[in-house]
Structure 1
Amino acid sequence: MVRKSGARAPRTVRRRPRLSDEVSEYVRELIVSGQLKPGEFIRPENVADELGVSATPSREGLLSLQSEGLLRVEPRRGFVVAPLSGDDIEDVFAGQALLAGELTARATPRLSDDDLARLEQLQEQLETAAAAADGDEVERLNHEFHRTIYRAAGSPKLSWMIKSSLGYAPRRFFASVQGWPEASAHDHRAILDSLRVRDPDGARGSMTDHVRKAGQLLAEHRRGE
């Protein structure tokens, strides 16, 4: 439609995530972190009550997890948590590591001095939070550190692909995975060192190793349950 001269342009409205996506994110984290065990049944109405949503988006979110293989449906009984092994977790993070490494390599020449200063500030805050055993703050700063790098890569399709795998990082239960907050505090330094000297291959390798290690830690957490 052609807008008439003098007519106001429509406002851009920032939409919140769909309720069904919020449901799937919430339950996915419960499963990946081990809070929900294989074989446990999940009732859509219970999830709806916990999140304050209606039954329809709750069921839609659970159906989405069924398509991912995290849930299955048993006739006349409903949704049940499917097995998720440590090897499954490592496979997801192996793919994520390749994407993260490529995005970091592409971001290396594109990050400005201000971006690097921002990353250094985030890392200092993250190390302080890790020393104070503030897992929630470490998780928030870790997420912002990675997001800043990936966004600078200027590769929206790769960013979309890696975002689809981030649901396997249990953000709400970050601190419960032994060694994960410490890994973020330590591994980011090697990434920053390569970014500062504009070394794409070094940055790719450091980021790839970091994400793989995160997957190994989560896999070990699951195996030890």
Structure 2
Amino acid sequence: MADLTPTRLAQRPQLSEEVADHVRTRIMSGEVRPGDFIRLDETAAALGVSVTPVREALLTLRGEGLVDLVPRRGYLVSPMSRKDIEDIFWLQAELSKRIIDRAITRFDAESLNFHATLIDDFESASAAGDADGVVRAQYAIHRSINRTSQSDKLSRFLSNAARYMPYRLYAEDPVWRENALKDNRRMLNALREGDVATAHQVVDAEFSGGARLLIEHLERAGIWDDDDNAATSTGEPAGAATS
């Protein structure tokens, strides 16, 4: 299980976004289950912030379909099926392949060399077991491709979809890190050779594997027990009040 120990956050303009990211990670990693309430006071105290950014964060997550508002009771975690997970990763794969199609013709020797250094950074962080470093390096690798593609809107859509991924869950998994390094190397070779087919294969492998790992993790966490499945099939959040 990823280390999700709350970190006290300093006051700054994007505070509600950081709170949203914290709560989103707890949901997507299975630390909180569908039907669990997200308490404003408890979350604010854990993060060392006021209730206001927590409330703003929960409004954001409600818009993303991750929490529901129950009148007079607060926010609770929405149901999420295996198919939902698959769809999130499918969307990322399709957007990524579109971006790759545009980026692969724009990489030159300088940008390819820079991309290679980012992969070296990933390898170093992985070898050191530095999960935060792995997250930063993998983000930089994807950002390199996105920026080279010159597809700002697609990159923003992809960034929004990627928010659902609990990155530390992956970064702390040695097997995932090993496979990710191989995928990053294969992608670099594909970019150098202008090999779109292989680049697409790498993207599909990355996101299908990511979906599988997350689903297996959530299954072990007991997210989809019989009660949850019954609640999901009726369209009611598990644990929600009924009239």
Tell me the TM-score range normalised by the shorter chain: 0.7 to 0.9
1:86–1:223 CA contact under 8 A, matched in 2: no
Cα distance, 1:161 vs structure 2: 0.7
Number of residue pairs the alignment of both structures matches: 210
- Among 22, 31, 36, the alignment partner of 2:32 is 36
1:195 to 191, 194, 198: 191
Q: How many angstroms apart in 1 are the aligned matches of 2:212 and 2:73?
A: 34
Residue 26 of structure 1 corresponds to which residue in structure 2? 22
SS in 2 for 1:168: coil
CA shift digits 1:73-124 (9 cap, x unpaired)? 2233211112223321111000110101111121111122121112212212
Residue deviations 1:27-47, cap 9 Å, x none? 111100112222221111222
Distance 1:85 1:17, change over 3 A: farther
Any idea what SS the aligned residue of 1:164 has? helix
| Structure 1 residues 177 and 130, CA gap change in structure 2 (3 angstroms) | closer
Stretches of 4+ moved more than 4 A in 1? none
Counterparts of 1:199 and 1:173, CA distance in 2 = 31
1:69 Cα offset (Å): 1.8
Q: CA deviation at 1:184?
A: 1.4
**Deviation digits for residues 185-211 of structure 1 (CA, Å, limit 9, x no counterpart):** 121121111101122333233223322
In structure 2, the residue matched to 1:7 is none
Listed as ranges, the matches of 1:38-53 within 5 Å are: 38-53=34-49
TM-score calculated relative to the size of structure 2: 0.78
**TM-score of the pair, normalised by structure 1:** 0.84
Structure 2, unmatched stretches of 5+, are 1-11, 222-243
The root-mean-square deviation of aligned C-alpha atoms, in Å, is 2.0
Match of 2:71 in 1: 75
Q: Which amino acid aligns with 1:28?
A: R
| Superposition deviation, residue 177 in structure 1 | 5.3
Q: 2:152 — aligned with what?
A: 156
Which residues of structure 1 form unaligned runs of 5+?
1-15
Find the aligned partners of 1:134 and 1:111 in 2 and give their Cα distance: 29
Check the 8 A contact 2:100/2:149 in 1, yes or no.
yes
Of residues 176, 179, 183 in structure 2, which corresponds to 1:180? 176
